[in-house]
Amino acid sequence: MMKELPVASVDRIIRNAGADRVSEDAKEALASILEDYGMKVSVEAIKLCKHAGRKTVKEEDIKLASQRLI
C-alpha cells in the first residue's frame, strides 16, 4: 500500500495529543492505521454514494460511512 499521509503530519497529531518525543516507528505505525481506516471509510462512502445514484462522494457519505464502521 502506498503511503499517503506525511510523517510530519502524523508527528504533529501525536505531539498535539501530549507526547514530548515520537519515534519514527510510532509515526509510521499511526500513519498506517489512519490510512487503513481512511480506506475503509472511503470504500463504504463510495457504496453509499452509488446507492444514492450519485458519482460525487459528499461529506454526508463520509460521516455516515464513518459511523457505520464504529
User: d(Cα 5, Cα 7) in Å, to the nearest integer?
Assistant: 6
pLDDT at 25: 97
Contact criterion met (CB below 8 Å) for 37 and 70: no
Which DSSP category does 14 fall into? H
Q: What are phi and psi of 43, to 5 degrees?
A: -60, -45
Per-residue confidence band for 1, with pLDDT thresholds at 50, 70 and 90: low
Structural domains in the chain, CATH included, are: 7-15+24-69 (1.10.20.10)
**What are 34-45's pLDDT values in tens digits?**
999 999 999 999
Answer yes or no: is pLDDT of 52 > 60. Answer: yes
pTM for the predicted model, two decimal places: 0.89
Shortest CA distance to 26 belongs to which of 40, 41, 42, 12?
12
